Amino acid sequence: MGIRGYLTNVRRCYREESFTDATAWAVHELKNSIVYRTLGDNIGESVWDKDWDVLVVLDACRVDMMEEIADAYGFDVDTHLSRASESPDWIRREIERSEAGVGYVTANPFTHDERVGISEGDDVGYLDEVWKDKTETRNGVTTVFPDSVTDRALWAHNTQDLDRLVIHYMQPHQPFIGYPELATLDLVEDQETTDLLNKNSIWHCTRSGRFDRDEVWKAYMSNLTCVLDEISERLIPGLSGDVVLTADHGNALGEWGEWGHPRGSVNPKIRLVPWVQVQGGDRDISGESPPADGNESEVESRLRALGYK
């Protein structure tokens, strides 16, 4: 966000919010902008500096969420300082121009973002944008469901000659599977504003009291359980080598006055993410091959369904 956009949003914020909230937002955005522009690429640890064969990315997973249910899966939870507070920056800093032997299977539509522009051959050796054909509505919730990502990840693992594979699930990020009543018009974070100005964000709705915080936490944990069940029952048994579960970023729930995961944040609840090491089961579990590329109108409709347009 440039200075003109910042000033426009400040004026809007003072019109729509209380003086105290508007001032807090203005200071917070200015601070985050300075941090982002001066330190953005230098905060955090690169995932490539650690040992793993398969990296499983759980979008917007908090450390305390993983710790709360780790025993049920036999996980030992360590931590990792992420290089970004939102998906586009994480993809740009960690995936873009990685190496030829890397595969990236992803449910996250930010591969389509103009700030990222990931492509097969130029940035990674193999790219499967699962969201392009597996954005589905089930029981009133539209997202890329975990089983679709697992199917494609196992196929890539079994058929592609890769040195390392990154698998990016959409969960536990909202929308929350099984909780259609918590769906909002914008299913993902606003690209130009924090959630204070994004009135349709689930985090603004929670902050304002429209949604109950305890109910949102329950739904958030349910999303994590849903994706971990899929990963532990189907994905890990079908992988070989050293597998790590982590996140691109976390998510604030009021800590430091933040909600969601705004760009440029250095909030520990956003930047500190889980790091769980497990061993693949090395079993022969078949997956599902990606289809032929769809046309651009289909891609645009899926982006709209996910709230990115």
Residue 139 shares a structural domain with residue 204: yes
* Same domain flag for 21 and 59: no
CA gap 304, 272 in Å, rounded: 30
Cα separation, 23 vs 42, in Å, equals 28
- Would you tell me the crossing angle of helices 213-230 and 63-73 to the nearest 10 degrees? 50
Task: Answer yes or no: do 156 and 269 share one domain.
Answer: yes
Predicted local distance difference test score (pLDDT) of residue 71: 97
CA–CA dist 106, 124 (Å, integer): 12
> For residue 26, what are the domain limits?
1-42
What is the pLDDT at residue 189? 45
Q: Domain total for the chain?
A: 2
**Tell me, what's the pLDDT at 81?**
97
Position 191 scores a pLDDT of: 44
Q: How far is the C-alpha of 283 from the C-alpha of 112, rounded, in Å?
A: 33
Domain CATH for 85: 3.40.720
**What is the pLDDT at residue 292?**
78
Q: Are residues 84 and 212 in the same domain?
A: yes
- Judge if 17 and 64 occupy the same domain: no
One digit per residue, pLDDT tens: the chain, 309 residues?
567 766 777 777 787 777 877 777 677 677 666 766 666 667 899 999 999 999 999 999 999 999 999 999 999 999 999 999 999 999 999 998 777 899 999 999 999 887 788 889 889 999 999 999 999 999 999 999 999 999 999 999 999 999 999 999 999 999 999 999 987 655 444 444 454 556 678 888 898 888 999 999 999 999 999 999 999 999 999 999 999 999 999 999 999 888 888 888 888 999 999 999 999 999 999 899 999 765 555 666 666 666 565
**In this structure, are 15 and 135 located in the same domain?**
no
